Structure 1
Amino acid sequence: MIGSVVYPRVNQNGCKNFDGSFTSKPGSFPTFVLVDRGDCFFTLKAWNAQNGGAAAILVADDRAEPLITMDSPEEGNGSNNDDYVEKISIPSALISMALGDSIKTALSNGDMVNVNLDWREALPHPDDRVEYELWSNSNDECGPKCENLINFVKSFKGAAQLLEQKGFTQFTPHYITWYCPEAFILSKQCKSQCINNGRYCAPDPEQDFSRGYDGKDVVIQNLRQACFFKVANESGKPWQWWDYVTDFSIRCPMRENKFTEDCSDQVIKSLGLDLKKVTDCVGDTHANVDNPILKGEQDAQIGKGDRGDITILPTIVINNRQYRGKLSKAAVLKALCASFQETTEPSICLTPDMETNECLQNNGGCWQDKSANITACRDTFRGRVCECPIVQNVKFAGDGYTHCEATGALRCAVNNGGCWKGAQGGRAYSACIDDHTKGCKCPPGFRGDGVHSCEDIDECKEKSACQCPECNCKNTWGSYECKCNGGLYYARENDMCIGKYSASAGSGGSSFVWMFVLILAVAGAAGFAFYKYRIQRYMDSEIRAIMAQYMPLDNQPENSNHNQPHHGV
């Protein structure tokens, strides 16, 4: 990019909004705004220049010194930092005080000053392989910087692993530590933040020595990450470092109180690396001796050649030159591609998209059931994720790394709900209960955990059935058979032998019983009718006899009554 430099008459430090517009006119060079260092953050200067229409910003140093990296403000500093930092899109550069004074002098004399910004030569490209480093930290509670670093590792992992596996790059992770001055080794601060008797220290994550994790916890995890890379590199798979750091940040965050050695061990085991070798590499963090890994890290911090010292986290070094730019996948990938010798860059540098399937290697370190061909590994453009799947409308639940189990009403339809099942002699049994419950339970006639096995119970030996004197017991898979001597019948519900008549009455003789009851009912009804008829006739005759004494009956003639004397009552 070639642009024409403008040094504003007011707001020369760029800490306020620019009143005039720096938008270039058609046919003219883009405008590069020159501002002075100081009074506000570099990011605010760049944001104001971008809003003013500038195509780039040059910041002139205010002292004669080696140039530094224009770092983003720390958490809680600046004005609405999160509102604009990620929106800055124009390039920026810090120039020496001498160069800045020369440009200002030329502009004050009425001269036009044009500047050429050439990123093609910003990084050396000696050969067909790029060597780069990432200086980082395992602390995940340092605000936006930590979040930005973790997000970068997650998003860049796929590209980094592909480039490493194809032999295009050689990556090395590094960690910054400092040592405690000898006079303060016994202080509370050094004991909290340092290991190996004050030799290797890191700041307290919460800046509070009385709570949460300490700086020494961060140093130990830095050491474990460095040792993981060493062991993985010796095994020919250095790219596994990206898997470990990504999974550790997901599974073992500080805010969930999981930033522990035990959680780290689980991640290492899931990735198939030799845990003992990593532990041996870490060594004794309480011993008053040098740790070869961390001592090498401290030596590497000191700048050699054009690289300079490593003082800012995170920092990327590409071909022994510190990278200046956004910590994002697209920006870093472009910088790596610019570091290849011309015509030797890999195809990924010539295409906008890149696809990798990380689930093909060790199942991505995720849970899987090989027998049912079910896996929690899901490949995405940004890298693999470990999430329990949904299979045939059955949702699996779990952490995705160590276990997943089917849930819901249809869970037995998929891999039998993860429970035991077996078949023998034409019989089939399952420990899965097809309802909304979880877990597995061996069916009646079996015992076991219901997941890995269910063993047949020998009811005959355990004398839990068929124990009557006339019984003969035979065990079967999942059940038993019982036969009685002397032609008797076995009643399973009562576990006893009974006679033939009782057996027939109890089983096939129900029709006879009903017939007998019916005959009794008919006889009773007939007897009642006959009894009622006889009583009725007897009562009628008695009543007629009594009434015949006092009044004529209907079957006697009327005139016979006229000749009879009247009797008083």
Structure 2
Amino acid sequence: MEMRAVILVVLGLVWLCEGKFVVEMNKLRVSSPDSLKGTYECAIGNFGVPDYGGSMAGAVVYPHTNQDACGSFRDFNISFSSRPRGLPTFLLADRGGCFFTSKAWNAQTAGAAAVLVADDRTGPLITMDMPDNDTAAVYLPNITIPSVLINRSLADDIIKSLAGKEMVNVYLDWIESLPHPDDRVEYEFWTSSNDECGLKCESQMKFVHDFKGAAQILEQKGYTQFTPHYITWYCPDDYRSTKQCESQCINHGRYCAPDPEKDFSEGYQGKNVVVQNLREACFFRVANESGKPWLWWDFVTDFSVRCPMKDKKYNKDCADRVIRSLGADVKKIEECVGDTEADVDNPILSSEQDAQIGVGSRGDVTILPTLVINNRQYRGKLDRRAVLKAICSGFQETTEPAICLNGDIQTNQCLDGNGGCWEDKATNVTACRDTFRGRVCECPTVQGTKFVGDGYTHCEASGPLHCTINNGGCWKEIRDNQTYSACIEGSTSGCKCPSGFKGDGLNCEDVDECKEKLYCQCPECKCKDKWGGFDCSCSSGLLYIREHDTCIRKDGIAGSGWRTFWLTVLGIAAFGTGGYLVYKYRLRRYMDSEIRAIMAQYMPLDDNHGGYMPVSGGHGEAPGQAHHGDI
């Protein structure tokens, strides 16, 4: 037993002696009294639900009795429930006397919204962790309030102010506890396939089952980049030939895990856990190469259900059946696993050991399970809602996916006065959007129509479909079953009063076309104004043509042009008749002159006697007539 204890201690500390453990911090801001105003650091507890991405305000209370919060406050008839419209209560408790988790549970059951544990020693703050004692199993999974460790000096100042009847108001701020530089979150989950380590193994397997759906949605849509990891230790050279190292390690002591039952003589051994961890790491690598890294969640959850240690199914055969059921290549995975008995390094497990070492702001991974989000270790219990909220806080603001805006983690601040954001009550369109960080005033997109504006005082529909939402914010009125709108369909935005109305598009009024003499101006026209237009009628049964503002006969000839038509016809007729008479007169004169000329040749006129002159020679011949028979 003594040798086993030595081995366990060595295995647990062999690589930690030169490592570093980073205490994850958040901000505590005191807003009153004035003597304490300022911002202080505090350490996030590794249980409960820290409000990642958000903040909490509360009034501090330091009890007169049970000041270490190790006993139930119900026994002292003490309640920390806040009054209606009052600030939540933050309980200040002294360190020591019991587990940190016991203090948090007692405070929560008494109605406190958060726990401030006052450190009892000088030096840097530590991370308050969960106990390994199984007696905590009753309450540990149910702790939901956040817990922080504060410096003793700050605690003493708070106690002094409370004793002086001063109210101490505090803000706990987790907004910058996790980096959120862009629109993708990278996170790691350090876990183990061991399912016989008690409360921690049970809680992490429950988390994997509960979180699988959200994790796969985030991964499949490219919102996150997830990587599983497995902690292993190496056995010191001096102990590699011992039974303990041989039972807990593979590859000649290079990669080790604790015995599941902490008993080397029964059940599964640590090396069985290392091999299965390696198999799961290889499954992820093969699945990732095929473009489906999210299948890891299916493999791990299916294996835990189908191949548990308690049923003696925690082995390669059962694992292979699960692998085949998921359509993965068993041969590739076995090639990745390699020879676990060979005295050589395994590249997968060697890289896992390297990854355990802290880099930059991230400390060494020393606690199982551990979640690392954007290179910062998550503190708090492994709960679907809590972890999802922490991951969502790793997105750059306003880039969070829809899963981050569901009812599980949003703050519901929009329910109170619409969060102070713009709202159109007529159409129930609002710029208020609840997120895990609190409400955001951002003009929405409704039915494909984007609203633009500052989100606080105004939002205006924009885009080709903007008229479908509140008529694009433009004027609209219905009378006598007629609808007129100033919204311009097909345009991106803008309002313009329709024909028959005038105004700025937000307000339009009817135009009196008759009074303003815009239409119906022909001589035969009679104008009558109406809403949105006018009626124009014509006298003598004529028909009004609006496009030409004229009256025509029903056979198509305009009334105002009828007289002109007949005058034109009569003019043409008169002109033709006159021309014909002139023509006849000139023709007659011409014919008369020709006849007179011909007659003058045969019957010369006697100017003296008024008769014809006789033809000489007794034989008259016309001039130019041939004399037949002449030689």
Which TM class, normalised by the smaller chain length?
A: 0.5 to 0.7
Q: Which residue of 2 aligns with 1:445?
A: none
Question: Residues 256 and 26 (structure 1 numbering): CA distance in 2 closer, same or farther, change over 3 Å?
Answer: closer
> Contact conserved, 1:57 with 1:93, CA < 8 A, in 2?
yes
Question: Residues 315 and 284 (structure 1 numbering): CA distance in 2 closer, same or farther, change over 3 Å?
Answer: same
**Counterpart amino acid of residue 177 in structure 1:** T
Question: C-alpha offsets along residues 453-484 of structure 1, whole Å, 9 cap, x if unaligned?
Answer: xxxxxxxxxxxxxxxxxxxxxxxxxxxxxxxx
Question: Residues 102 and 299 (structure 1 numbering): CA distance in 2 closer, same or farther, change over 3 Å?
Answer: farther
Deviates more, 1:132-141 or 1:5-14: 5-14
Measured in 1, the distance between the counterparts of 2:156 and 2:273 equals 44
> Contact conserved, 1:5 with 1:113, CA < 8 A, in 2?
yes
**Residue 57, structure 1, aligned to residue 115, structure 2:** yes
Question: Residues 347 and 326 (structure 1 numbering): CA distance in 2 closer, same or farther, change over 3 Å?
Answer: same
Mapping for residues 242-257 of structure 1, pairs under 5 Å: 242-257=297-312
Measured in 2, the distance between the counterparts of 1:149 and 1:259 equals 17
Measured in 2, the distance between the counterparts of 1:132 and 1:213 equals 31
Measured in 2, the distance between the counterparts of 1:95 and 1:73 equals 20
Q: Which residue of 2 aligns with 1:395?
A: none
Question: Residues 66 and 213 (structure 1 numbering): CA distance in 2 closer, same or farther, change over 3 Å?
Answer: farther
**Residue 77, structure 1, aligned to residue 135, structure 2:** yes
Give SS of 1:183's match: helix
Question: Residues 327 and 353 (structure 1 numbering): CA distance in 2 closer, same or farther, change over 3 Å?
Answer: closer
Q: Which residue of 2 aligns with 1:276?
A: 331
> Contact conserved, 2:134 with 2:199, CA < 8 A, in 1?
no
Q: Which residue of 2 aligns with 1:238?
A: 293
Shift of 1:113: 2.8
Measured in 1, the distance between the counterparts of 2:399 and 2:93 equals 39
**Counterpart amino acid of residue 282 in structure 1:** V
Q: State which of 91, 94, 100 in structure 1 corresponds to 2:146.
A: 91
Q: Which residue of 1 aligns with 2:625?
A: none
Q: State which of 169, 180, 184 in structure 2 corresponds to 1:125.
A: 180
Measured in 2, the distance between the counterparts of 1:223 and 1:202 equals 11
Q: State which of 80, 94, 102 in structure 2 corresponds to 1:44.
A: 102
Identity of aligned residues (%): 68
Q: Which residue of 2 aligns with 1:22?
A: 80
Question: Residues 168 and 142 (structure 1 numbering): CA distance in 2 closer, same or farther, change over 3 Å?
Answer: same
Q: Which residue of 2 aligns with 1:224?
A: 279
> Contact conserved, 2:81 with 2:112, CA < 8 A, in 1?
yes
Measured in 1, the distance between the counterparts of 2:353 and 2:166 equals 48
Q: State which of 349, 356, 368 in structure 2 corresponds to 1:294.
A: 349
Q: Which residue of 2 aligns with 1:148?
A: 203
Mapping for residues 396-475 of structure 1, pairs under 5 Å: none
Shift of 1:278: 1.3
**Counterpart amino acid of residue 155 in structure 1:** D
Question: Residues 126 and 76 (structure 1 numbering): CA distance in 2 closer, same or farther, change over 3 Å?
Answer: same
Q: Which residue of 2 aligns with 1:193?
A: 248
Measured in 2, the distance between the counterparts of 1:302 and 1:115 equals 35
Shift of 1:97: 4.4
- Taking only aligned residues, the RMSD between alpha carbons, in angstroms, comes to 2.2
Question: Residues 170 and 159 (structure 1 numbering): CA distance in 2 closer, same or farther, change over 3 Å?
Answer: same
Mapping for residues 344-355 of structure 1, pairs under 5 Å: 344-352=399-407
> Contact conserved, 1:163 with 1:169, CA < 8 A, in 2?
yes
Question: C-alpha offsets along residues 192-225 of structure 1, whole Å, 9 cap, x if unaligned?
Answer: 1111121211111111111110001001111111
> Contact conserved, 2:392 with 2:404, CA < 8 A, in 1?
yes
Q: Which residue of 2 aligns with 1:324?
A: 379
Shift of 1:121: 2.8
Q: Which residue of 1 aligns with 2:63?
A: 8
Question: Residues 224 and 24 (structure 1 numbering): CA distance in 2 closer, same or farther, change over 3 Å?
Answer: same
Q: Which residue of 1 aligns with 2:443?
A: none
> Contact conserved, 1:64 with 1:98, CA < 8 A, in 2?
no
Question: C-alpha offsets along residues 226-269 of structure 1, whole Å, 9 cap, x if unaligned?
Answer: 11111111111111110110111111111111111121122112
Measured in 2, the distance between the counterparts of 1:98 and 1:297 equals 41
> Contact conserved, 1:37 with 1:61, CA < 8 A, in 2?
yes
> Contact conserved, 2:59 with 2:169, CA < 8 A, in 1?
yes
Shift of 1:306: 2.5
**Counterpart amino acid of residue 278 in structure 2:** L
Measured in 1, the distance between the counterparts of 2:278 and 2:158 equals 47
Measured in 2, the distance between the counterparts of 1:25 and 1:147 equals 37
**Residue 212, structure 1, aligned to residue 267, structure 2:** yes
> Contact conserved, 1:307 with 1:322, CA < 8 A, in 2?
yes
Q: Which residue of 1 aligns with 2:538?
A: none
Measured in 2, the distance between the counterparts of 1:252 and 1:37 equals 42
Note the residue ranges of structure 2 that are not aligned, 5 or more in a row. Answer: 1-55, 410-631
Q: Which residue of 1 aligns with 2:543?
A: none
Shift of 1:135: 0.8
Q: Which residue of 1 aligns with 2:615?
A: none
> Contact conserved, 2:385 with 2:408, CA < 8 A, in 1?
no
Note the residue ranges of structure 1 that are not aligned, 5 or more in a row. Answer: 355-569
Q: State which of 314, 320, 327 in structure 2 corresponds to 1:259.
A: 314
Question: Residues 67 and 286 (structure 1 numbering): CA distance in 2 closer, same or farther, change over 3 Å?
Answer: farther
Question: Residues 307 and 98 (structure 1 numbering): CA distance in 2 closer, same or farther, change over 3 Å?
Answer: farther
Measured in 2, the distance between the counterparts of 1:63 and 1:290 equals 44
Q: Which residue of 2 aligns with 1:165?
A: 220
> Contact conserved, 1:195 with 1:201, CA < 8 A, in 2?
yes
**Residue 113, structure 1, aligned to residue 168, structure 2:** yes
Which structure is higher in RCO with an 8 Å CA cutoff and minimum separation 6?
Answer: 2
Question: C-alpha offsets along residues 271-305 of structure 1, whole Å, 9 cap, x if unaligned?
Answer: 12222221121112112222221122122222223
Measured in 1, the distance between the counterparts of 2:220 and 2:347 equals 28
**Counterpart amino acid of residue 323 in structure 2:** I
Measured in 2, the distance between the counterparts of 1:66 and 1:308 equals 15
